[in-house]
Chain A
């Protein structure tokens, strides 16, 4: 049988290898474009063939032995269930948008740039298609060296420092979660990294309570660092602020969801009493730290890209609250929110770079009135901001709504505080849109405009932007397209 999932992982890698051969610019663009297009198309094909009724089970399952099956219980086991399918599609579409945006960018040494981005893309597709916990981890780390080099070589201000900090934090988070996963492997008695096998063994006899607490604590800390849980968030705004736009789109939009996905798909269902033990702390950090504290920090930002980086840290707080709530509605909301946030933050990062090309600055105080010159860009940006705030009609609304509904049963106080966070995001979101596009043109921007009058979005920017916006609207108006499968899978995993 033709393996759709493996092809989706392998095709960006094959394209990256092909790019090692010197070739003319046009051929390079075609090869790289195919490397991004094929996984996106395959993701859509998989989505259309996926049977929602059986969303609790893994579908499109294939298995390959890389030599560790007998000795360590590790095999390349690919498949999708209702939780991983939407994220797999997210990875494909955001990857395509980031790829298209990168192909038209004027980066130096384009072959290396596109090659590294393709390596990242392969990792992304692999993370969500892996049933084997080892490969899930493996594919996440796959992108690490590529991300490091991309931030350091093509990044903006403070790129060397940002690249180093990002890499050290991500390694720390990854290492802690690796030990947590090894602990799970060992304590469950399964001696197997296969998630299906782990679930079966643990359903026969749960890990004892105190061990659950330790293991979930390790996984929460490790995954938490990767998802920028307060107070381990400082790498994210800095790293995303410095990263080239396509890398920021892939990382903030998709790769960062690795940690949440790990908690939702692996840690929480296998270690329920561990979740209960930590949920108080988690909710405190998520609401007090991520949503409220970081929310105010976001308001204070002048740098557009840093602001988006901080806002993404803030929105992760909602997701953590949903996990702390630990019920079907809340967890389902987390999955919806992950998908929606992935599209919206990727769109915002992309547009912020497009704005930079026209204003030559990320400082919002040096902008203003750009809507007159670039109405289409303004329209896209305002819509993306609305999505990020969580306005109805756009995907994020449903995720946040479900999380709040689920969390209400867990704690009315935290939920109320979290809902007030929506006002904070409205403040910084609308303020940024107003500062960049409306009001008086600042003198600094007037000078730039006089030298080089800004043009509106070209088609090469519109296509990726439209792609992401369409996804946001599609999910916004028809959330059932995702939620049904998510609900089936989550209900089966969190049966209580």
Chain B
């Protein structure tokens, strides 16, 4: 390769386009440097991280439509779209909230602290790239960066055996899913690069090339196999049945902020990938619809039924999250017939972000030093002791359950309308059953927090084993939680221009 060729190839490497990702990377490194230079003021470092991210988020929102939207860069590895911009802001918001929860949660552990914030930033940057990937190579590299980051984060509390177990489980299952994803990619690469077949390409890793190939070869067996494997690999990330098996243990063992990160950001990343892949695979609509429909139905039922019997709130929210993945998949299936459904999915994810972080925020405060053991019983008389947190919890849970006037309901409504327009009646019936079942455990949690329950009298001389005492809420944290709760209420009543932005495209 001559210098001239290299220069031409590099001309497409528009580094400016990934300025947010680079900034996060630089910030991540800066945190480590700061730890060396400020050994006595370590408490300051998370604050620096959060403030810097806030600045970045504001910058991103102010310049929401940069000139490069609608173009691709890095020789087609990345495609910049307004969806990508939305997801960037989404992941950055998650990262800010996870960092804030991290400050609260890590104070209860004797652990090195700065690395946590460092890894969160790196993972976030990788998620941002993932959302804009338009090439399987980049998809895989970004996905692995995210997953490797999560291996560390999940087992972060290394003194807690449950956290280590969770880390190991996530590692083994994650490796399995990556292998499946890779296998699927290779199959697609192989068939799409075969010059003997119509529509073959010299660049069979690019989404567009694969789509063209699939359209030209409507019933290729190897391609079908590849599609199924790729979908299976992604299904692991979103925790869809039958790849949900890791969820309860990993959610329980991981530190609460990491659980939140997994539940919201990692799931959203999975859906971002799934949506773009559904467009790539759309020539094989029948196959994709069948696979996803089976998964969605099973996911909704499994998530809700399994969550019914949980007493550990981290497992409960994990399994309920599985059912949310099912509702979202309903939207993804609808996307094949009704492209506008993409907006419904993004709205749902945003409502899910607001509600989940409200709930996780409360959980982080209630958790004791053993982060994995968070029982429903710890919420006894919570409304009397901590009315503010209880209010935030009730709004968060109500929104997750999809009760008006909260944002979660609007998300569900939009998904249901999209599913109805796409004619997915059996899945809608399952979704309704799921919503009704979910009332039992979401409201069961509210019940645990609000209703005074009868407890058997103790034998004389014994002292009741008291649950952990909730940590006091700091002012910024209280403000953030209030903002999340208010956001859930306001977005449930007044969607304003946001709804138009999501749905009118």
The residues in A between 155 and 200 inclusive whose CB is less than 8 angstroms from any CB of B are 159-160, 163-164, 167-168, 171-172, 175-176, 178-179, 182-183, 185-186
A450 close to B (CB within 8 Å): no
Chain A contacts for B439, CB-based, 8 A: 167-168, 171
Smallest CB separation, A20 vs chain B (Å): 9
Asked if residues A67 and B451 are in contact (CB atoms below 8 Å), the reply is: no
Asked if residues A145 and B451 are in contact (CB atoms below 8 Å), the reply is: no
Asked if residues A142 and B443 are in contact (CB atoms below 8 Å), the reply is: no
Asked if residues B450 and A67 are in contact (CB atoms below 8 Å), the reply is: no
Asked if residues B451 and A141 are in contact (CB atoms below 8 Å), the reply is: no
What is the chain B residue whose CB lies nearest that of A187? B420
- State A176–B504 Cα separation when bound (angstroms): 27
Smallest CB separation, A161 vs chain B (Å): 10
Asked if residues B503 and A71 are in contact (CB atoms below 8 Å), the reply is: yes
Asked if residues B443 and A167 are in contact (CB atoms below 8 Å), the reply is: yes
A70 close to B (CB within 8 Å): yes
Report which of B417, B432, B444 forms a contact with A176, defined as CB distance below 8 A: B432
Asked if residues A160 and B451 are in contact (CB atoms below 8 Å), the reply is: yes
- State A67–B494 Cα separation when bound (angstroms): 7
- State A144–B442 Cα separation when bound (angstroms): 13
Asked if residues A178 and B503 are in contact (CB atoms below 8 Å), the reply is: no
The residues in A between 404 and 447 inclusive whose CB is less than 8 angstroms from any CB of B are none
A153 close to B (CB within 8 Å): yes
Report which of B420, B428, B446, B504 forms a contact with A71, defined as CB distance below 8 A: B504
Smallest CB separation, A335 vs chain B (Å): 25
- State A68–B496 Cα separation when bound (angstroms): 7
What is the chain B residue whose CB lies nearest that of A65? B496
Smallest CB separation, B40 vs chain A (Å): 41
Asked if residues B447 and A163 are in contact (CB atoms below 8 Å), the reply is: yes
What is the chain B residue whose CB lies nearest that of A68? B499
Q: Indicate with 1 or 0, residue by residue over A125-153, a CB within 8 angstroms of chain B CB atoms.
A: 00000000010011001101100110011
Asked if residues A67 and B496 are in contact (CB atoms below 8 Å), the reply is: yes
Asked if residues B450 and A183 are in contact (CB atoms below 8 Å), the reply is: no
- State A414–B493 Cα separation when bound (angstroms): 44
Asked if residues B435 and A175 are in contact (CB atoms below 8 Å), the reply is: yes
What is the chain B residue whose CB lies nearest that of A134? B413
Chain A contacts for B436, CB-based, 8 A: 168, 171-172, 175
Q: Which segment of B210-218, B261-269, B403-411 sits at the interface?
A: B403-411
The residues in B between 446 and 469 inclusive whose CB is less than 8 angstroms from any CB of A are 446-447, 450-453
What is the chain A residue whose CB lies nearest that of B437? A168
Report which of B420, B447, B495, B496 forms a contact with A182, defined as CB distance below 8 A: B420
**Contact A179:B398 (CB < 8 A) given known A71-B504, A164-B443:** no
Smallest CB separation, A199 vs chain B (Å): 20
**Contact A171:B420 (CB < 8 A) given known A67-B499, A149-B446, A152-B451:** no
Smallest CB separation, B489 vs chain A (Å): 11
**Contact A153:B500 (CB < 8 A) given known A141-B404, A175-B436:** no
Report which of A71, A168, A182 forms a contact with B500, defined as CB distance below 8 A: A71
- State A490–B286 Cα separation when bound (angstroms): 48
Asked if residues A145 and B394 are in contact (CB atoms below 8 Å), the reply is: yes
Chain A contacts for B420, CB-based, 8 A: 179, 182-183, 186
**Contact A164:B444 (CB < 8 A) given known A66-B493, A67-B495, A182-B420:** yes
- State A352–B503 Cα separation when bound (angstroms): 51
What is the chain A residue whose CB lies nearest that of B409? A141
Asked if residues B498 and A142 are in contact (CB atoms below 8 Å), the reply is: no
A470 close to B (CB within 8 Å): no
A72 close to B (CB within 8 Å): yes
> Chain B interface mostly helix, strand, loop or mixed?
helix
**Contact A152:B450 (CB < 8 A) given known A70-B504, A164-B444:** yes
Smallest CB separation, A422 vs chain B (Å): 36
- State A148–B394 Cα separation when bound (angstroms): 11
Which of B384, B404, B420, B446 lies at the interface centre, i.e. has the most chain A CB atoms within 10 A of its CB?
B404
Chain A contacts for B500, CB-based, 8 A: 67, 70-71
Q: Indicate with 1 or 0, residue by residue over B39-68, a CB within 8 angstroms of chain A CB atoms.
A: 000000000000000000000000000000
Which of A134, A137, A152 lies at the interface centre, i.e. has the most chain B CB atoms within 10 A of its CB?
A152
Smallest CB separation, A412 vs chain B (Å): 39
Chain A contacts for B432, CB-based, 8 A: 175-176, 179
Smallest CB separation, B440 vs chain A (Å): 6
What is the chain B residue whose CB lies nearest that of A126? B405
- State A77–B405 Cα separation when bound (angstroms): 16
- State A202–B443 Cα separation when bound (angstroms): 39
Report which of A67, A142, A160 forms a contact with B497, defined as CB distance below 8 A: A67
Q: Indicate with 1 or 0, residue by residue over B482-496, a CB within 8 angstroms of chain A CB atoms.
A: 000000000001111
Chain A contacts for B384, CB-based, 8 A: 109
Smallest CB separation, A70 vs chain B (Å): 6
Chain A contacts for B443, CB-based, 8 A: 148, 163-164, 167
Chain A contacts for B440, CB-based, 8 A: 164, 168
- State A230–B39 Cα separation when bound (angstroms): 71
- State A142–B409 Cα separation when bound (angstroms): 11
- State A250–B331 Cα separation when bound (angstroms): 37
Chain B contacts for A66, CB-based, 8 A: 493-496
Q: Indicate with 1 or 0, residue by residue over B411-451, a CB within 8 angstroms of chain A CB atoms.
A: 00110110011000000100010011001100110110011
- State A149–B495 Cα separation when bound (angstroms): 27
Smallest CB separation, B355 vs chain A (Å): 13
Chain A contacts for B494, CB-based, 8 A: 66-67
Asked if residues A145 and B398 are in contact (CB atoms below 8 Å), the reply is: yes
- State A172–B452 Cα separation when bound (angstroms): 26
Chain B contacts for A178, CB-based, 8 A: 413, 416
Chain B contacts for A70, CB-based, 8 A: 500, 504
- State A214–B417 Cα separation when bound (angstroms): 17
14 more CB-based (< 8 A) A-B contacts, given A141-B403, A149-B394: A71-B499, A71-B504, A72-B499, A144-B404, A160-B451, A163-B451, A171-B436, A172-B436, A176-B432, A178-B413, A179-B416, A182-B417, A186-B417, A186-B420
Binding site for A on B (CB under 8 A): 383-384, 394, 398, 403-405, 409, 413-414, 416-417, 420-421, 428, 432, 435-436, 439-440, 443-444, 446-447, 450-453, 493-500, 503-504
A-B contact pairs, 5 of them (CB 8 A): A71-B503, A145-B394, A152-B451, A179-B428, A185-B417
